[in-house]
């Protein structure tokens, strides 16, 4: 099940990194199943890609916040 954006905001950077790694592994497995014609729910690929994009967005926001704090 997909996590909502609000829930990702509460994650720490290591938690986001771990979740990103898990989702990328799951996406790889789903793509492999799609190529071998054994994928039951093809829409899961789209959902996981969106979650990956959300996490990368939050990681980038954290990176920019740290950069701004470092300049002050």
Sequence-distant (6+) residues with CB within 8 A of 13 are 59, 62
Both tokens of 49, joined, read 């890609």
- Cα 21 to its chain centre, rounded Å, is 8
pLDDT of 31-59, one tens digit each?
999 999 888 888 999 999 999 999 999 99
- pTM for this model (two decimals): 0.85
Domain ranges in the chain are 27-65
Rounded Cα distance between 32 and 14, Å, is 27
First vs last Cα of the chain: how many Å apart? 40
Region of 4 please: left (phi>0), alpha (psi -120 to 50) or beta.
beta
Query: Considering only 8-17, 18-27, 42-51, which range has the smallest mean pLDDT?
Result: 8-17
């Amino acid at each position: 099940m997909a996590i909502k954006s609000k829930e990702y905001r509460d994650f720490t950077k290591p938690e986001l990194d771990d979740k990103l790694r898990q989702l990328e592994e799951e996406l790889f497995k789903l793509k492999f199943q799609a190529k071998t014609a054994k994928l039951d729910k093809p829409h899961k690929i789209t959902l996981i890609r969106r979650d990956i994009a959300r996490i990368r967005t939050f990681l980038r926001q954290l990176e920019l916040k740290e950069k701004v704090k470092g300049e002050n």
